Structure 1
Amino acid sequence: MRALVLTALDGPDALRWSEVAAPVSSTRVVIDVRAAGISYPDLLLTQGRYQLKAEAPFVPGSEVAGVVVSAPAGSPWRPGDRVCAATPFGGYAESAVADPAWVWPLPPELSFVEGAALPTNYYTAHFALVRRGRIEVGETVLVLGAAGGVGTAAIQVARALGHRVIAVVHRDGADDFLRGIGADDVVRLRTGWAAKVKELTGGRGVDLVVDPVGGAAFDEAVRVLAPEGRLVVLGFAGGAIPTVKVNRLLFRNVSVVGAGWGELVRADPDALRAVAGAVADLVRAGLRPPPPIIVPMAAGADALRKLGAGEILGKAVLVREGA
């Protein structure tokens, strides 16, 4: 079979579309991959900058959708099942393996391309909003990095759960896209953006901030929290890891919490099943990932480069030739 092999921890430039041995396993589910999602952790992994480490050469790719080829005895999976799966490594290939606990049914309403968009972004967004952010009825959500994969998922999940959403975005040309997927308001990430958010909320601020960006926007995001608001940290796509001035938390009665989805599911697979089920319920109720940018799997290196440069609007998905 063919796969994108990372030959050194030098980022996307070190990826090669190569012939490799097809995986065989008696303990894990073997999946004929039809589509594989591109995610920011994948990019960091190719650079050796992610908390999970792997020695080159290896095949990156952490989320796939496809058809079961084989499964361990006693697992719920059978050859021919349409599935999504989380695969910490190995997803950018024509065939991949996954722990049976990290595999779940592909909702029949979704295509393989749409299904490949779910594992990282939509499950992370639901986990951040519901379990870590403890969102309540009638609350307003602000999403930083709103035009990225996690940002777009957070907008859609928040709207599907019935909340007002304010999208904060740096790049130009994304406003119509963000409103089209459910943002009630779009604010440019420029000087004065926090004042605009306060204006939109009648001076009160927002109840929950979803922050996959970090960096310079973090301090202002804390300031736009309403009393007893929560800021949920998902990552640091902006590069810098901010520090928390805890006196602000104390005097304003606000909270900053972390949402490490990958770390949780590695320790508690039941959490994955619960969130997958909750997102499937939203899909049945009408939630659909916006059409992703489709890239041939062999050209995955270019897609990762564009992701790192902030040129991907929403989600990019690798599709196997002939799949």
Structure 2
Amino acid sequence: MGRRGRAARPVGRCRRHGYEAVHVRGAGLAEEVRAANGGRGVDLVLDPLGAAALDLDLDLLAPGGRIVLFGNASGAGPAPLPPLTRLLGANATLTGFSHGGLLVQAPAKVAAAVRRALDLLATGALATPVTVLPDLVDVPAAHDLLAAGRGEGKYVVALNP
């Protein structure tokens, strides 16, 4: 929202892909999200950082909200969970999600979700930008973009036999 510099491009890209509200991580994020949401927090936080941002997640939540941890994009070791009193005081639900675990435990659920996503892609209801990297030597630069939070969509390497 109205951010300048490096953050302005990702915000614009997100808006082009249909997001109604876009907020960039940084100081004041919780207040910005609350202001955009009528003064209240959000009902759901999907956190790919592996517990590294749990304090922020709790700051963002509305009473009775849910935090879903999946992955560990931060690359850091597992962060400690917040004190039980903080979770209870926030009336928060904290849960984890593992695509790999679900694939083993409930493959039919994963198959149905993949089928639904492919249907959305096929009908054009869902669009994912794809960047084709011409060679393996381009992969480190793409990883750098992703690590800096500036990557967009999916990256595919086109290898010529």
Cα distance change of structure 1 residues 289 and 225 upon mapping to structure 2, 3 Å threshold: same
Whether the 8 Å CA contact 1:295–1:319 is kept in 2: the answer is: yes
Deviation at 1:317, TM superposition (A): 1.4
Partner Cα distance (1:216, 1:309) in 2: 15
Work out the CA distance in 2 between the residues paired with 1:275 and 1:215: 25
The 3 A distance-change label for structure 1 pair 285 and 309 is closer
Match among 131, 135, 139 for residue 293 of structure 1: 131
Residue 26 of structure 2: aligned partner: 190
Give 1:297-316 correspondences, 5 Å limit. 297-299=135-137, 301-303=139-141, 305-307=143-145, 309-310=147-148, 311-316=150-155
User: 3-state DSSP class of the match of 2:160?
Assistant: coil
**Structure 2 counterpart of 1:221:** 57
Question: What does 1:1-323 correspond to in 2, within 5 Å?
Answer: 172=7, 173-214=9-50, 216-240=52-76, 241-242=78-79, 243-283=81-121, 284=123, 286-290=125-129, 292-299=130-137, 301-303=139-141, 305-307=143-145, 309-310=147-148, 311-321=150-160
Relative to 1, partners in 2 of residues 1:268 and 1:183: Cα closer, same or farther, differing over 3 Å? same
Q: Is the 8 A contact 1:215 1:239 kept in 2?
A: no
**Structure in which a larger fraction of residues adopt strand:** 1
Distance 1:276 1:313, change over 3 A: closer
Stretches of structure 2 lacking an aligned partner (at least 5 in a row): none
In structure 1, the residue corresponding to 2:23 is in which secondary structure? Answer: strand
User: 1:28-75 CA distances to partner (integer Å, 9 max, x unpaired)?
Assistant: xxxxxxxxxxxxxxxxxxxxxxxxxxxxxxxxxxxxxxxxxxxxxxxx
User: 1:261: Cα distance to partner?
Assistant: 0.5
Question: Aligned partners of 2:62, 2:110: CA distance in 1, in Å?
Answer: 30
Residue of structure 2 in register with 1:34 after alignment: none
- What percent identity do the matched residue pairs reach? 34
- Distance in 1 separating the partners of 2:124 and 2:133: 28
SS state at 2:118 partner: helix
- Please state which structure has a larger fraction of its residues in helix: 2
TM superposition shift of 1:239: 3.3
The amino acid across from 1:315 in the alignment is K
Shift of 1:275: 0.9
Q: Which amino acid aligns with 1:276?
A: V
Q: CA deviation at 1:220?
A: 1.4
Matched-pair contact (CA < 8 Å) for 1:294–1:317:
yes
Structure 1 stretches of 4+ moved >6 Å: none
Give the corresponding residue for 1:35: none
Instruction: Give the SS at the match of 1:185.
Output: coil
Deviation at residue 215 of structure 1 after TM alignment: 5.8
Query: Is the 1:206–1:226 Cα contact (8 Å) retained in structure 2?
Result: yes
Higher relative contact order (CA 8 A, sep 6+): 1
Q: Which has the larger radius of gyration?
A: 1
Cα distance in structure 2, aligned partners of 1:301 and 1:187: 28
Alpha-carbon deviation of 1:307? Answer: 4.9
Is the contact between residue 51 and residue 69 of structure 2 (CA under 8 Å) also seen in structure 1?
no
Q: CA deviation at 1:185?
A: 1.6
Gaps of 5+ in 1: 1-165
Q: CA deviation at 1:265?
A: 0.4
